[in-house]
Amino acid sequence: HVKPTKVGGKTADIFHSDKGLLKSVRQGPPAIVEGVEGCIGNTPLFRIKSLSDETGCEILAKAEYLNGAGGSPKDRVALSMIQTAEADGSLKPHSGDVIYEGTSGSTGISLATLARARGYLAHICMPSDQAMEKSDLLLKLGAVVDRVPPAPIVEPGNFVNRARALAQARTASSAESADKGSVADASQLTNTTPTSEPGAATGRGLFTDQFENAANYAAHFNGTGPEIYAQCGGKLDAFISGAGTGGTISGVALFLKPRLPNISIVLADPQGSGLYNKVRYGVMFDVKEREGTRRRPQVDSIVEGIGINRLTANFDAGRELIDDAIRVTDAQALAMARWLVEKDGIFIGSSSAVNCFAAVKTALKLGPGHRIVTILTDSGTRHLSKFWAQAGNVGGTVDTKLEDVLNA
Ligand code: PMP
């Protein structure tokens, strides 16, 4: 029992609280773990009060932004891809090997964090229209950052293609320099890299390839899915997620569906993404649209990290288990993000807002009494300069109606 303390000359009796005040709400305390890697997974699942009260459903949020390495579910994926590569010998800790990835940011941040913890360097290629917070953070972590102009996947300048090519170039040049007995000059790999790759990097290059790498959805099949199932005591009616690589929705669906055959797996898809049509109509675009979309740089939305115009191996892995798709506009995502701050004090990024909007739509469709789980992927602090700049400040005395959010 903590003793009373003098606060401002008065004895503070708050320390005497036997009413639960000051008691940690989270169950625990968690055990001591090893490094930042030990802080990955086992994230809380919490009830979003406002949305649950409004819909009569239980709307539960898996707080993936609380993963303790890079602050998103990509911590699980980065760790899984690194562990897989170490197991098959394509990465060797503290060897100077360089990890290359094309990412909207979250996977890069998780990879750069874990690269530090395990003695690698990270070289991250990302589209230049993503929020600066993410590339700034990558630079602080000592990653090499290529912000490349948005380009379709069919062009070599696309961020994913660039990461792959750089990894191949490094591996080739490190093999060559090993022959000659000299150190590879990483600066020759690219002439537009804003930061130079540290000269100490003498190792091979590995393209972790989050879009096609099965270690991605395996992380969610082995972690996120079982955690949700256990936290719900095996009782839930729907799971809602957006897809960037598709790793989350596929991994979780592959775990949950065999155990809960009646569960609805619902894709939350931002405007401009082709996945909605793929899920609902079996085709991504009609012929005319395909031509346009192949020229279109990226998904045309302010939402970052989800929505895609091609089929990835990770999305394909669980595609047949997806029951429905809900399209969410930018205006709806912005309105939902503001709502969650206004009503619940939940400050999240754009893809989480899309997920929550689709969770409400699903609740209204299923009717009261159902339990719906969705993912909160990252914090609003990653999106201050872009998404939240558009959302603006949430006023202190506003009283928004859910109707207004749904009709945004
Ligand atoms: N939200 C954010 C912020 C992301 O960066 C990503 C990954 N690109 C996702 C959601 C989507 O997750 P997944 O890649 O597993 O589909």
The more confident residue out of 172 and 18 is 172
State the Cα–Cα distance between residues 60 and 48, nearest whole angstrom: 6
Look at residue 295 in the predicted model and tell me its pLDDT: 47
Q: Give me ligand 1 centre to Cα 372, in Å.
A: 19
Which residue has the least CA distance to atom 2 on ligand 1? 305
Residues 6+ apart with CB under 8 A from 80: 215, 216, 218, 219, 222
Contact 162, 192 (CB under 8 A): no
- In sign, the C-alpha dihedral spanning 85, 149, 350, 406 is negative
Q: Tell me which of 62, 65, 106 to substitute to probe ligand 1's pocket, judged by most ligand atoms within 8 Å of the beta carbon.
A: 106
Ligand 1, pocket residues at CB < 6 Å: 104, 106, 242-248, 304-306, 349, 351, 377-378
Q: Tell me which of 240, 351, 357, 383 to substitute to probe ligand 1's pocket, judged by most ligand atoms within 8 Å of the beta carbon.
A: 351
Which residue has the least CA distance to atom 11 on ligand 1? 244
Per the DSSP assignment, residues forming a β-bridge with 375 are 62
Contact 208, 101 (CB under 8 A): yes
Q: Give me ligand 1 centre to Cα 140, in Å.
A: 22
State the Cα–Cα distance between residues 370 and 374, nearest whole angstrom: 13
The single residue of 3, 6, 19, 74 carrying the catalytic annotation is 74
Q: Give me ligand 1 centre to Cα 244, in Å.
A: 5
State the Cα–Cα distance between residues 284 and 32, nearest whole angstrom: 47
Q: Give me ligand 1 centre to Cα 386, in Å.
A: 17
Tokens of 391: 């959302």
Q: What tens digit of pLDDT does each residue of 328-353 get? A: 999 999 999 999 999 999 999 999 99
The more confident residue out of 167 and 298 is 167
State the Cα–Cα distance between residues 94 and 52, nearest whole angstrom: 48
State the Cα–Cα distance between residues 279 and 17, nearest whole angstrom: 53
Look at residue 290 in the predicted model and tell me its pLDDT: 52
Q: Tell me which of 110, 159, 240, 245 to substitute to probe ligand 1's pocket, judged by most ligand atoms within 8 Å of the beta carbon.
A: 245
Per the DSSP assignment, residues forming a β-bridge with 47 are 60
Look at residue 1 in the predicted model and tell me its pLDDT: 45
Q: Give me ligand 1 centre to Cα 17, in Å.
A: 42
Q: Which of 20-29, 119-128, 264-273 shows the lowest mean pLDDT across its residues?
A: 20-29
Strands (E) across 234-278 are located at 238-241, 264-270
Q: How many residues does the chain have?
A: 408
- Other C-beta atoms closer than 10 Å to the C-beta of 304 total 28
Confidence of residue 89 (pLDDT cuts 50, 70, 90): very high
Decide if pLDDT at 289 tops 60: no
Q: Is 74 a catalytic residue?
A: yes
